Amino acid sequence: MSTQILRQVQNQDLAVRGLVESDLPRVMELEYLGYSHPWPVSVFQDCFKPQYRLWALMQGDELVGYAVVNYMVDEAHLLNVCVHPALRGQGAGRYLLRYAVAESIRDGMVQMILEVRQSNEAAAALYASEGFEEIGRRPGYYPDATGREDARVMVYRFT
């Protein structure tokens, strides 16, 4: 972790813990703040199964972000990552991403895969700066205001 990011995280009092079902009202608040087409609460509820890892990003006592990862054999699939809009660009998302990657490695996964909206340049740049590389596209993967938007498929191979 770079010294600058470490200082930002320390100054923000950020920590990660497991997400629990009682966090869902706050998760839904963040989901609606963060996405034009948010997941319904039922999708989050379906993620409380053994093959999922759900992480809560805390700033002091406040939940300010979350990540949802699905483990499939030896691959971690980052399904959803979100931080409060006020924390974007300050290292909070990077901190949460690095935590999810580190936990995936610790759990024996060999790579992490994700999809990101083609239009989400900031997220794609973050992922690329953390070692993810684009390996393809999924046409019409995401809903958008005019129909569908392509997804970039990115992977980070740990080995």
| Distances 94 to 9, 51, 85, 102 between C-alpha atoms, Å | 10, 23, 14, 12
DSSP H helices in 47-152: 92-106, 121-129
133 is catalytic: no
Residue of 66, 95, 127, 142 marked catalytic = 127
State the Cα–Cα distance between residues 100 and 94, nearest whole angstrom: 10
Residue of 66, 95, 115, 156 marked catalytic = 115
- Is there a binding annotation on residue 120? yes
Amino acid sitting at position 13: D
62 is catalytic: no
Checking DSSP bridges between strand 133-144 and strand 62-72, what pairing results, if any? Answer: unpaired
Detail the residues annotated as belonging to a binding site. Answer: 120
Which active-site residues does the annotation give? 115, 127
Binding-site residue positions for acetyl-CoA: 120
